[in-house]
Amino acid sequence: MEHLEQQERQRVWEKIQKALLNEQIDQFRAEFLELHPYDQARIFEEQEEDIRFLIYTYLSPNEMADVIEHVDRDLVNEFIIEMVPAFAAKILEEMSTDDAVDILNELDKNKVASFLTIMDKEESEEIKELLHYEEKTAGSIMTTEFVVIHHQMTVKEAMRHLRKEAPDAETIYYIYVVDSDKKLVGVISLRDLIIAEGDWLIQEVMSERVVSVPVGEDQEEIAQMMRDYDFLALPVVDFQNHLLGIITVDDIMDVMEEEASDDYSKLAGISEVERFGDTAIQSAKKRLPWLIVLLFLGMFTASIIGRFEEALDKVALLAVFIPVIAGMAGNTGTQALAVAVRSISTGDMNKIGKATVIWQEAKTGIITGTVCGILITGIVGFWYGDLYLGILVGISIMATLFVATIAGAFVPIVMDRFNIDPAVASGPFITTLNDIISMLIYFGLATVFMDLLIGG
């Protein structure tokens, strides 16, 4: 994705490239440091190894940290490992603690230990603490670089403190207030702070109703909360309400993107999100587990049809409608599934109630089933001139759509009840389940009405 205008970007890129090739450090720095770190990272990623080593000598660890924070997470380890360890450690020191932790989490244990040894003591302690938190919880996405003020400071003192801390803090737009036990007691926005009188006490102007999250909270819940309350940052506390860190909105946008990709991939039956740069073998490995499970489920469907071989021997035409009936069952099931999974994850499900959702889906299934059933009865009856066959296929579609729609909503609701992520009930799984249901209905009806079919 190109965000600077294409042409402008091209021009700047060429200037920078030229400066690098001619080893003109001043020209390079002048152009490169003017760019947003996102663009710096795009340029840096495109360089060959020898040019990258040049850049490591041209930039300070602090400047390089900005670049590394914006480099694609799948490439960053390679860069960190190729650097002189002392330089890499300095960069990790300069980065936001939460980003440094993200990177270290992907490295092998020995490397992490050696970086932590070289690093500044204070910073490495902070990182070590964050490394303990479970992935996808508040603890793992929070940062410990935030501004905190005491409730008995005056507004003037707070502003002075803020000016001093601003350059290192992740955000200064929400300032959290603690008491002498370091417990969170309030919050004040910079907006309110700059319009308050200088000699007022913070505890008089702060808001006491501060919303916080426990350190073990799931990141998806936090994203939902930030979106609902329009927060720019959220404080993270332990069970005694001590302030541990803050989560900022830019990290939450990454979480939202990640969770959306995750739900989307699961609906399509991919166990793990595929990444930019995966090889074909890696992609195949991620897809095969599901495909093999579905293959065995498919063989089960085959064995069910096998039981009706007698009926098939008598009326071979029956086979012709297998894909359309199984397919419609799969389609309607996937629709119902998607609606249910989405309304569980947005919380709408709790507002409406599970029984209501299933009842609603049952009614929807009756409507879609009746419409499609009547349509296909007409088409088959007319096309093959066999009204009985038409009615058989029509009733099968109707019954199938009804059952498959309910199944699509029921499966994720049951999973959610047992605390399994409902998104695991992917489209292909529901589709294969509904294949089985639909074949039982179709061939069951065909067997019962066999006399009419042969007579017709």
Question: What type of residue sits at position 343?
Answer: S
Site for its own copies in 209-228 (CB under 8 A): 209, 211, 224-228
* Candidate ranges 82-90, 107-115, 128-136, 272-280; the one touching its own copies (CB under 8 A): 272-280
**Residue 26 engages its own copies in binding (rule: CB under 8 A):** no
Closer to its own copies by Cβ: residue 219 or 431: 431
Site for its own copies in 354-383 (CB under 8 A): 360, 363-364, 367-368, 371-372, 375-376, 379, 383
Among 99, 407, 427, 437, binds its own copies (CB under 8 A): 427
CB atoms within 10 A of CB 138: 26
Closer to its own copies by Cβ: residue 70 or 128: 70
As measured in angstroms, the least distance from the Cβ of 252 to its own copies is 8
* Candidate ranges 80-88, 99-107, 177-185, 337-345; the one touching its own copies (CB under 8 A): 337-345
Among 317, 420, 424, 448, binds its own copies (CB under 8 A): 317
As measured in angstroms, the least distance from the Cβ of 348 to its own copies is 4
As measured in angstroms, the least distance from the Cβ of 70 to its own copies is 8
Site for its own copies in 100-139 (CB under 8 A): none
As measured in angstroms, the least distance from the Cβ of 416 to its own copies is 14
Site for its own copies in 231-270 (CB under 8 A): 232, 249-250, 252-254, 256-257, 260-261, 263-265, 267-270
Among 321, 395, 415, 437, binds its own copies (CB under 8 A): 321
Closer to its own copies by Cβ: residue 200 or 383: 383
Closer to its own copies by Cβ: residue 229 or 239: 229
The secondary structure of the chain, three-state, reads CCCCCHHHHHHHHHHHHHHHHCCCHHHHHHHHCCCCHHHHHHHHHCCCHHHHHHHHHHCCHHHHHHHHHHCCCCCHHHHHHHCCHHHHHHHHHHCCHHHHHHHHHHCCHHHHHHHHHHCCHHHHHHHHHHHCCCCCEHHHHCECCCCEEECCCEHHHHHHHHHHHCCCCCCCCEEEEECCCCEEEEEEEHHHHHHCCCCCEHHHHCECCCCCEECCCEHHHHHHHHHHHCCCEEEEECCCCEEEEEEEHHHHHHHHHHHHHHHHHHHCCCCCCCCCCCCHHHHHHHHHHHHHHHHHHHHHHHHHHHCCHHHHHHCHHHHHHHHHHHHHHHHHHHHHHHHHHHHHHCCHHHHHCHHHHHHHHHHHHHHHHHHHHHHHHHHHHHHHCCHHHHHHHHHHHHHHHHHHHHHHHHHHHHHHHCCCCHHHCCHHHHHHHHHHHHHHHHHHHHHHCHHHHHHC
Site for its own copies in 137-176 (CB under 8 A): 159, 162-163, 166-167, 172-173
As measured in angstroms, the least distance from the Cβ of 259 to its own copies is 8
Among 129, 179, 218, 274, binds its own copies (CB under 8 A): 274
Closer to its own copies by Cβ: residue 124 or 368: 368
CB distance 328 to 397 below 8 Å: yes
Site for its own copies in 191-210 (CB under 8 A): 191, 194-195, 209
**Residue 331 engages its own copies in binding (rule: CB under 8 A):** yes
* Candidate ranges 82-90, 116-124, 239-247, 275-283; the one touching its own copies (CB under 8 A): 275-283
Angle at which helices 322-345 and 354-384 cross, to 10°: 160
Closer to its own copies by Cβ: residue 200 or 264: 264
As measured in angstroms, the least distance from the Cβ of 56 to its own copies is 24
